[in-house]
Amino acid sequence: MSKPSLVSSNKIFGGEQRVYSHESSEVGCTMKFGVFLPAEALAGTKLPVVIWLSGLTCTEQNFITKAGAQRVAADLKLIIVNPDTSPRGLNIEGEDDSYDFGSGAGFYVDATTDKWKKNYRMYSYVTKEFINLINDNFPTIPNKKSIFGHSMGGHGALILALKNPGMFCSVSAFAPISNPIQCPWGKKCFGGYLGEDQGAWKAYDATELVKSYDGPPLDILVDQGTADNFLSEKQLLPEHLIEACKSNNVPCVLRMQEGYDHSYYFMASFMEDHLKHHAKHLHQ
């Protein structure tokens, strides 16, 4: 595994917000990621880690600059890491044709169709390469990690937790794409990355996965803004996730936040709640 190279570092709330790059064997290109290290981590103390997964069109920069997470993470003594959302610059025909497929839209799956399967392996990238990269190079406690994300990244956080029982201590999401096999974004990406067999799509759908979840207790928190235009466009379908959780007695709290939209203004408003949700489990 290649060592990460430091791209930038800025002091913030007593810690450092850093950006690194590394050569990824899973996706076959240079990938960037963010790391917030509280003061205690800079001094060598091992801390729990929370992984953030971003949504469509995002790079590693969106969360770093807009989410307002560093102050809370410093107070709670949490390392936060956030990878990019897809491979970049592979010169695959069509990779930059639309905002919701290809570059910036890896959807956290391992592609199986011929055109995409070599590089679009964001599921394996996060669960195998990225997590190991973080544990090998930063002062983390390997068995103390949680995951959360937004929109496509909320989908990613949910499926990674549900497909890997016990890997994460907790999971949460802002406006997740909860039932991608039933929404336009999911149908487009799953069809392109996974092919025409819709039965195979269920392996990356949180609503389907939670119906058969049989692992350690998983405390799920979901926030959804009522003024989110993608909610009304039936891209997110949180009600499907809640019904599926109820059917299998998986605890899931859905909070409908009045007047909030799909932007980082929404996430910044409730970021503290989500990090406290994870700290509750990570500091046990």
Residue pLDDT, tens place only, 227-267: 999 999 999 999 999 999 999 999 999 999 999 999 999 99
Cβ–Cβ under 8 Å, residues 73 and 50: yes
Supply the pLDDT for residue 284.
84
Residue 277 is a catalytic residue: no
Supply the pLDDT for residue 130.
98
What stretches in the chain show pLDDT beneath 50?
none
Count CA atoms within 13 Å of residue 117 on its CB side: 6
Indicate the pTM of the whole model.
0.97
Supply the pLDDT for residue 2.
76
Supply the pLDDT for residue 188.
97
Q: Are strands 15-23 and 5-12 parallel, antiparallel or unpaired?
A: antiparallel
Give the distance, in angstroms, between the CA of residue 70 and the centroid of all CA atoms in the same chain. Answer: 17
Residue 63: phi, psi to the nearest 5? -65, -45
Residue 223 is a catalytic residue: no
Q: Out of 103, 146, 151, 172, which one is annotated catalytic? A: 151
| Distances in whole angstroms, Cα of residue 128 to Cα of each of 138, 156, 256, 264 | 16, 14, 33, 28
Is the alpha carbon torsion for 25, 29, 34, 35 positive or negative?
positive
* Closest CA relative to residue 264, chosen from 122, 121, 82: 82
Residue 142: phi, psi to the nearest 5? -55, -35
Q: Out of 170, 228, 277, 278, which one is annotated catalytic? A: 228
Residue 228 is a catalytic residue: yes
- Residue type at 241 in one-letter notation: L
Q: How many helices (H) and strands (E) does the chain have?
A: 12, 9
Q: Out of 150, 240, 262, 274, which one is annotated catalytic? A: 262
Supply the pLDDT for residue 244.
98
